[in-house]
Structure 1
């Protein structure tokens, strides 16, 4: 039964991550250059937070007619990764199933689940889009 497949069949493992001390403009560049919507924040390999494009949009910067350099400067002067990131994350264990991931994502409150091992080391991420692609392959 496919719903009992391990999430390792669905999750993304080649992650772009940031550390708390990095600049928020670096997160913005990661979103743009990699067409991502979620960037985990780590300390060494330990998951400490997550920044989504929605978190960035909440900053409400007045960017009309502003170039990328100005946007990055405003971001870096007004905010830090630590201020913007989500801390109270719902995560999923590496040994969980696709079914459990689908159940956790199905309420629509969030669209990604960081995948961690028993020591809270980040090993991947699974998103709503990953699940949809997985289901599309089954049809």
Structure 2
């Protein structure tokens, strides 16, 4: 395994994003449809935050009581905005970064996804799962 492998070797470039101002119901649909756990939030091409499935579960008590999806969506859309639920200013890694730097950030944080940026433009994402798969390929 090379210590300085570029992050581009394992980052996903086809990133599903939420957009600044999207309704929570739209974000919930993205999670359900795509089976993912982390969605970067952008304003144009600029990264402005990240939202996780755990963030959604934290605010959607209806999910705990198996309430109708439309009721949960309507309640969330009328009480919260994406900006209130997402995490602003997430930890990021420059696209010139290395796999080792990504591993250090993910190991040291309380998060499991690392947006990859060029300046403030989102260009990819790496998750702890991506990193584990990359390490498995090395052995």
**TM bin (shorter chain):** over 0.9
The alignment partner of 1:135 has SS state of: helix
* Structure 1 spans left out of the alignment, 5+ residues: none
Asked if residue 117 in structure 1 is aligned to residue 118 in structure 2, the reply is yes
Q: Could you say which residue in structure 2 is the equivalent of 1:7?
A: 7
RMSD: 1.2
Q: Which structure is higher in strand share?
A: 2
Which digits, 9 at most, give the CA deviation of each residue in 1:33-79, with x for residues without a partner?
A: 11111111101100001101111121142341411111111111111
The alignment partner of 2:19 has SS state of: coil
1:88 Cα deviation after fit: 2.8
The alignment partner of 1:106 has SS state of: helix
1:3 Cα deviation after fit: 2.5
The alignment partner of 1:5 has SS state of: coil
Which 4+ residue blocks in structure 1 deviate beyond 4 angstroms? none
Summarize the alignment of residues 84-95 of structure 1 with structure 2, pairs less than 5 Å apart.
84-95=85-96
CA contact (8 A) 2:60 2:76 kept: no
2: CA distance, partners of 1:3 / 1:122: 24
TM-score when normalising by structure 2 = 0.94
Count, aligned residues: 138
TM-score when normalising by structure 1 = 0.94
Summarize the alignment of residues 55-66 of structure 1 with structure 2, pairs less than 5 Å apart.
55-63=55-63, 64-66=65-67
